[in-house]
Copies of this chain bind each other. A is one copy, B any other.
Amino acid sequence: MKDIPSPTKKRLILLERLLSDFKEERITSQKIQELTGWTSAVVRRDFYLLELKCGSSNGYNVQSLRESIKNALNLSGRKTPCCLVGLNRIGQMLLDGGGLDGSGFFLTAGFDSSVNRTEVLKSSFPLHSTVMLETIIRAESVKYAVLAVDDSEAQKMTDRLVAAGIKGIVNYTSRMLSVPDGVTVENVCLLTALESLAAGRE
């Protein structure tokens, strides 16, 4: 399981999810090509990179394939806690945790600087003032954060998260975040996505 290039990882993650509701017992790289748009060659190469023993000359067994992918990427195992920072419109969307059902993640805490929000909003996990941010993140060893604060607070809050030990941030703001080595950011922003689409044939 040495090191899997990041495009391969992303494809495998998506593929695992696709397979999770694929009804037949076996699947070929050709069929995966139809479903995903990736060439069958990429798919086979991806599988080659994990040391995969479940393929034979008439395709792959879907269940074994899922298992292999999941443990190559450590997608199985214990549920990973994440925290939600910022409870404005975007943050509120995630309050019932629905978006993470059936995944390897769960939301363990939400933070907002407005007591109004932390007191009033209903949630399946505790909401706290941002004053508590460092304490709780350290106490629960949370490593991942979903950042949904106003743009103007984005970098300030990022610095606090990093200082508190966060290793990965999903960024819903439209700002770029500056983080030190060892911390990763995934940008999830409608505007950026639209601009990427529009800036010509991807």
Contacts and interface: CB of A to CB of B under 8 A. Distances in A.
Interface of A: 3-4, 6, 9-10, 13-15, 17-18, 34-37, 73-75, 80, 82, 89-90, 93-94, 98-100, 103-105, 144, 146, 167-170, 174-176, 178-179, 182, 184, 186-202
Please give the count of copies of this chain that the complex contains: 2
A103 B193 CA distance: 12
B199 A9 contact: yes
B144 A197 contact: yes
Given A94-B190, A186-B193, A188-B193, A73 B176 contact: no
A175 B18 contact: yes
Given A89-B98, A189-B188, A202-B184, A194 B103 contact: yes
Given A13-B196, A74-B198, A198-B74, A190 B36 contact: no
A170 B190 contact: yes
When A and B form their complex, which 4 residue pairs have the shortest distance between CB atoms, in order from nearest? A168-B197, A186-B193, A170-B193, A184-B202
A184 B197 contact: yes
Nearest to A10: B196
A185 B195 CA distance: 12
A17 B175 contact: yes
B100 A191 contact: yes
Nearest to A189: B188
Contact of A199 (B75, B182, B191): B75
A36 B18 CA distance: 33
A58 to B, nearest CB: 22
6 contacts: A13-B199, A75-B195, A80-B194, A94-B190, A103-B195, A188-B190
Give the most central of A89, A167, A169: most B CB within 10 Å. A89
Give the most central of A6, A100, A191: most B CB within 10 Å. A191
